[in-house]
Amino acid sequence: MLTIFARAQSSDPRLAELQQRLKQFYRGNEAYYDYAENDKSFIYEPILRHIKSRRASNAARVRILELGAGRTAFPAFIRQQKFENNIEYLAHDIDDTNADFYRQNKIDFIVGDFPEIAKRGTFDLCFSTYVFEHLVAPHRFLQGMKEVLNPGGAIIIVCPKYGFPGYIPPAIRWLPWWRQQLLTLFLFASGIATRLTRAPKFWICADPAVFKRPWRRDYDAVHMVSRNDVRAALRDSFDVRSFPLQRSTLKMRLLDNIITLSIIAQRRVTAP
């Protein structure tokens, strides 16, 4: 039953193959990026409040890194709020598909992995929106953010989560119904085990729907995101808590509790 999943930390050869196939899917796929960037003001508003609270306690400009930025609307949002002079913002992307978009919108950007990002210094805030679920190596993503984050800095992650029984991750929706249900129960049980053992699993769907069916939203979301995995991976040096989004209805707030990971991880400041 579990041949569909692989642990991100493993040496499973399917992971390298999956990484390569996803890179080919994303490269130059402009229609995908156009679809991916919807209205995110419900995320940007609480992020801005966090930035303002940090700015109030520190005269320096806040250095911000958005990972997997795509065709981000965050710089436009900040300009609209007339707060751009208080921050230094850097957009990150996995390849140069969106380079022209960044140049046209006067957005400072970098392409590549964390060694390239590190050349630009360290940051007070690293955030990603609807990126974490698409990663084949989420544990390295967290580690990379930790390495470029200043003491007292914060990580904000917003994305789907897949540990609720009966909620079927889009990446496995090509499987028979009965198998989908068993896998959701497995993910739920795995989350409980992680909470008890504090050993993150980071399950990856090695054979996702994006390669089985015509593309629909999140068919390429291969990482079976678990809040308990994130907590376990960051517990040694971060305080992890919920990051409430600005939702206008009770229904959306309830749905967020079930199917959305929205966390802020604050790095502890230790004495030298």
Record the pTM.
0.94
Q: In angstroms, how far is CA 113 from the centroid of its own chain?
A: 15
| Whether the Cβ atoms of residue 136 and residue 113 lie closer than 8 Å to each other | no
Which two three-digit tokens encode residue 25? Answer: 């899917």
Per the prediction, the chain carries an average pLDDT of 92
Identify the three-state secondary structure at position 262: strand
Three-state SS string across 207-242, please? CCHHHCCCCCCCCCCCECCCHHHHHHHHCCCEEEEE
- The predicted model gives 199-226 an average pLDDT of 95
pLDDT at 93: 93
Fold of 2-267: Rossmann fold (3.40.50)
pLDDT of residue 36: 65
Nearest by Cα to 77 from 46, 103, 45, 106: 45
What is the mean predicted confidence (pLDDT) over 207-232? Answer: 95
Mean predicted confidence (pLDDT) in 193-216: 95
* H-helix segments, the chain: 13-26, 30-36, 41-56, 74-80, 99-104, 114-118, 138-147, 177-197, 227-234, 250-259
Q: What is the pLDDT of residues 57-104, one digit of tens each?
A: 776 889 999 999 999 999 999 999 999 999 999 999 988 889 999 999
Q: For residue range 5-45, what is the model confidence (pLDDT) as tens digits?
A: 999 999 999 999 999 999 888 876 666 766 666 789 999 99
CA atoms of 216 and 173, how far apart (whole Å) = 11
